[in-house]
Amino acid sequence: MPSNTNRPVNYRRSALNGQRSMTATHRRQNEALALRQQGMAYADIAHRLGYAAPQGAAEAVRAASARLNNAVMPVVATATPSVGAVASNRTFGVEAEFFGITPQTAVDALTAAGISASYEGYTHRITTGWKIVTDASVNRTGTGTGGLELVSPILQGEAGLAQASLAVSTLLRAGGKVDRSCGLHVHVGMNRLTGADIMKVLDLYSANQSHINSIIARSRQTNSYCSPLNLGAGSRYNSYDEVRRAVTPEQIKVAARQFGRYSVVNVSSYATYGTIEFRQHQGTLNGEKVASWVKFLLALIETAVAMPVASQNFGSLTDLMNATSLGDETKSFLNRRAGRLSASRS
């Protein structure tokens, strides 16, 4: 059978088409490497990027590593990761504590990845770009100063979450590290919610604390920087009740000012930023962990607000996630994480 009777004998493949094909291959290899560095399994990388088998994904990761390690560039990849659907359009912000590199190294790496960033020293000033700030509670090894924290601008939707994933992964590739001194904090905007709505979020989190603990490192379950919620009778009961009765933003701010910030769900941040802050997650520079945690929180908030009464214990992590609009891929990731943490504790 003739190979192609319409092709001239002296046909040569277009150099432009060849270059386009090679560029696409390199782009996919770079994305495979970025996903692997975020902790994703080869089988999952293969499924996401269309490789026939996990071995194909592994070969792509090795090819990208070899190619990029020979290039003169401060980070190995700048492709924006795909993070999947986000269950809420609420604004959010991410604060990731880390150490191991200097502030300038962090800024240079982020800039090279296409993320506008600056070193601000110690500040709580809101900025329109990413910033590196100091944090006295964090390991300072390798920083040349105190411990460090990456703070995002106000983010929203899949694009914001993809940028957050890329930012933390970039710091990991640049040599950033975390340990038990580090935490991951997530602020979520509470606009258009009453105090009763906000308290429903705390009710649902508190009622399902044991299930949430299953995807959190043990070091963050009894930690002075993120103490467990206690919504029952006690010293804070009346203050929480004031939040529950508040209707306007100003009323919520007045009630929120009575709280300290070192709780798994920090209500006091509402007084300053109009957010509540989730402080329980352990420190990580793994982009997939960050994305999955933020998606879980956003889904949890929307579920709580929609419930008439949100103090229901769903019985298990799986049942809790199934009660939300969380995507199957994120549910699978969090269930696998719960399994790994359970095995490490036994």
CATH code at position 253: 3.30.590
Quick one: 206 and 250 in the same domain? Answer: yes
Mark whether 50 and 158 lie in a shared domain.
Answer: no
The closest of 160, 184, 188 to 273, measured between CA atoms, is 188
- Is 186 in contact with 93 (CB distance < 8 Å)? yes
In this prediction, what percent of the chain has a pLDDT beyond 90?
A: 67
Residue 6: inside a domain: no
Q: 184 has which bridge partners?
A: 96
Q: Is the pLDDT of residue 47 over 70?
A: yes
What are the residues whose beta carbons fall under 8 Å from the beta carbon of 203, sequence distance 6 or more? Answer: 231, 304, 309, 310, 311
The pLDDT of residue 77 is 41
Return the structure tokens found at 159. Answer: 């694009």
Whether 264 maps to a domain, the answer reads: yes
Q: How far apart are CA 58 and CA 260, in angstroms?
A: 47
Looking at every residue in the chain, the average pLDDT score rounds to 86
99 and 20 in one domain? no
77 inside domain: no
Instruction: Compute the chain's Rg from CA coordinates.
Output: 23
Within-domain flag for 32: yes
Mean pLDDT, residues 235-245 taken together:
81
Q: Which two three-digit tokens encode residue 334?
A: 């969090």
- Give me the pLDDT at residue 127, please: 83
127 and 22 in one domain?
Answer: no
How many structural domains comprise the chain?
2
The 10 Å CB-count burial string (b at 16+, else e) for 315-328 is eebeebbebbbbbe
Judgement on whether residues 183 and 331 belong to the same structural domain of the protein:
yes
Q: What amino acid occupies position 105?
A: T
Same domain assignment for residues 56 and 111:
no
Within a domain: 109? yes
Same domain for 32 and 105, yes or no, is no
Which pLDDT value is given to residue 181? 97
pLDDT bracket for residue 345 (50, 70, 90)? confident
Would residue 51 count as lying in a domain? yes
Answer yes or no: do 194 and 60 share one domain: no
Question: Residue 297 pLDDT more than 90?
Answer: yes
**Is position 79 within any domain?**
no
Q: Please state, in angstroms and as integers, the Cα–Cα distance from residue 30 to each residue in 50, 68, 82, 113, 318, following that order.
A: 14, 9, 13, 13, 33
Question: According to DSSP H, which parts of the chain are helical?
Answer: 15-37, 42-49, 54-69, 103-112, 157-173, 195-207, 209-213, 237-245, 249-256, 269-273, 287-306, 317-322, 328-345
pLDDT in tens, 127-177: 889 999 999 999 999 999 999 999 999 999 999 999 999 999 999 999 999
Q: Which domain holds residue 37?
A: 16-69
Judge if 258 and 138 occupy the same domain. yes
pLDDT of 55 higher than 50: yes
Strand partners, 151: 95, 131
**Which alpha helices (DSSP H) does 95-194 contain, by range?**
103-112, 157-173
- Over residues 162-172, the pLDDT tens digits come to 999 999 999 99
One domain, residues 258 and 131: yes
* pLDDT given at position 10: 46
Exposed e or buried b per residue across 54-92, where buried means at least 16 C-beta atoms within 10 angstroms of its C-beta: eebbbebbebbbeebeeeeeebbbebbbebbebbbebbb
First to last CA, the chain: 64
Whether 163 and 309 share a structural domain: yes
Give 265's strand partners: 278
State whether 63 and 98 are in the same domain.
no
Asked whether residue 20 carries a pLDDT value surpassing 90, the answer given is: no
Closest to 314 (Cα-Cα) out of 327, 328, 300, 329 = 300
Please say if the pLDDT value at position 3 is more than 60: no
pLDDT at residue 119, as a whole number? 97
Rounded to an integer, the average pLDDT of 255-259 is 93
Residue 9 lies inside a defined structural domain of this protein: no
Count of CB atoms situated within 10 Å of the CB of 234: 10
